[in-house]
Structure 1
Amino acid sequence: MIKHKSSTHPPKQDRGDATREKLLTSSIDVFGRYGFDGATTRMLAEAAGVNLQAIPYYFGGKEGLYIAAAEHLASIIIGHVAELRNTIIERLGRLDSAGEALSPDEARTILTQLAQHMVGLFVSRQSESWARFIIREQMEPTEAFERIYGSVMAPMIGTAGRLVATILNEPTQSDHVRLRTLSFVGSILVFRMANAAVLRQMGWQAVGPDELDILRRHAAGLVAALGGDKEARS
């Protein structure tokens, strides 16, 4: 009786999934560093360690890979915030179903949790390549920006906006609330988007556990300050 030897090679489907994943992950960094025009298909393939023909095979070409990379980036960020976001959405949903209003104190608590979570995510080394990609799309938006904005940015800003509106006791869609929300979100994003300036200004070599604790306390202070000055406007 002949015994079949077990193969040490993964099934073709698994190998294909792995190749696609490598391209998606590495292309976020390559596109972020060189932009769409500067990143060649050879650079993208070499960074992923795959055959050059894998790009047209899996994505139809560089443009298809670029859009897929944006969607992949959005899914990564969503994965990091999914648990907290789902908890917030469920809480708000229960209140809406019961016809009850969120209290300002609870809004502050939830917004603090959200801000502290985002600070931790944005100062991580993993987010460096994300920031490069997103900053380029902020400067010259393409279809990739629409994918990231629709999946990640709009829901996050929308949730923060509802919480800010509750704290300020103003309509969610008012110009003041929307601008205040954008300013608040920007005060969190600065720790990644202006990372070098933050480190230089604070005299830090890097953001370790102690520095992260300081930033989380700072995020809580930003929430506590909302409405504290009666939001005086000119």
Structure 2
Amino acid sequence: MSKIENDQNTTRRDLTREKLLAASLDVFGRYGFDGASTRRLADAAGVNLQAIPYYFSGKEGLYIATADYLTDLISTHVGDMRQRVGARIAALDAAGEPMLPEEARGFLAEIAQTMIALFVSKKSESWARFIIREQMEPTEAFARVYQGIVRPMIEIARRLIGTILGEDPASEHVRLRAFSFIGSILVFRMAHAAVLAQMEWETAGPEEVETLRNLAAELVAALEPVKGGGA
């Protein structure tokens, strides 16, 4: 086999695998693991049924690979930002210097604005369905998504919020404040239909997204230290 033929076969294999993963993210999110038959998965991807055991050793392997695929997808949108903020925190820690609250607010606002724009986008629908199912009944797939995306973002948010509040990021109070803050962003995906109905928006277009980005900045600005110290 020539190098060109070999490269073409590799491209076809990669394309088939990509089709399966993209379709599976939607199908597993809609029907769950048990409700997503291999026939339904293959048909949604437009591939041969035997592609599932060939590429993923079965439906279980495809499910776990889909979780990794989701983690990679989200990382393409937030990975650079997460690394940049994490590098800044690490540099300050290495120098034994604290981050100033103003800088922490700037980073947190950037994160919140990026996430809120991502969550109202059409592409995040299938992501949300998959993650919500895993939140309700966690499997190894949840562990993959949590370790790859959720935990790092929560820990960065805790660090920034702790800096803003002047409290230990590991404290119970800061952990709860971080989840409360993140929840105020997630609601725009988890309650997407209710948000559109209440706001009387037909869709979340550029103008609506800009409104929500401004709201995200307001949510950060509203974070203030508790008078008399933390809880």
- The residue number in structure 2 matching 1:3 is none
Residue 22 in structure 1 maps to residue 19 in structure 2 = yes
CA distance in 2, matches of 1:137, 1:62: 16
CA distance in 2, matches of 1:229, 1:218: 22
- AA aligned to 2:132 is I
Secondary structure of 2:169's counterpart equals: coil
Name which of 205, 219, 226 aligns with 2:223.
Answer: 226
Q: 1:161 to 1:34 in 2, by over 3 A?
A: same
Structure 2, gaps ≥5 residues long: none
- AA aligned to 1:186 is G
Residue 31 in structure 1 maps to residue 5 in structure 2 = no
Work out which of the two has the higher radius of gyration on C-alpha atoms and give 1 or 2. 1
- The residue number in structure 2 matching 1:55 is 52
TM-score, structure 1 as length reference: 0.93
Superposed displacement of residue 82, structure 1: 1.4
Residue 99 in structure 1 maps to residue 96 in structure 2 = yes
Q: 1:231 to 1:117 in 2, by over 3 A?
A: farther
Superposed displacement of residue 233, structure 1: 8.3
- Deviant stretches of 4+, over 2 Å: 7-10, 228-234
- The residue number in structure 1 matching 2:10 is 13
Name which of 41, 58, 72 aligns with 1:75.
Answer: 72
Name which of 157, 172, 194 aligns with 2:191.
Answer: 194
- AA aligned to 1:182 is F
| Count of aligned pairs | 229
- The residue number in structure 2 matching 1:89 is 86
TM-score, structure 2 as length reference: 0.94
Residue 162 in structure 1 maps to residue 147 in structure 2 = no
Q: RMSD of the alignment, in Å? A: 1.9
Identity %: 60
CA distance in 2, matches of 1:228, 1:178: 14
CA distance in 2, matches of 1:32, 1:173: 33
- AA aligned to 1:58 is Y
Contact residue 20 and residue 41 of structure 2 kept, 8 A: yes
Structure 1, gaps ≥5 residues long: 1-6
CA distance in 2, matches of 1:130, 1:208: 19
Name which of 180, 189, 194 aligns with 2:177.
Answer: 180
Contact residue 104 and residue 160 of structure 2 kept, 8 A: yes
Secondary structure of 1:113's counterpart equals: helix
- The residue number in structure 2 matching 1:123 is 120
- The residue number in structure 2 matching 1:212 is 209
92-101 vs 42-51, which moves further: 92-101
Q: 1:231 to 1:181 in 2, by over 3 A?
A: farther
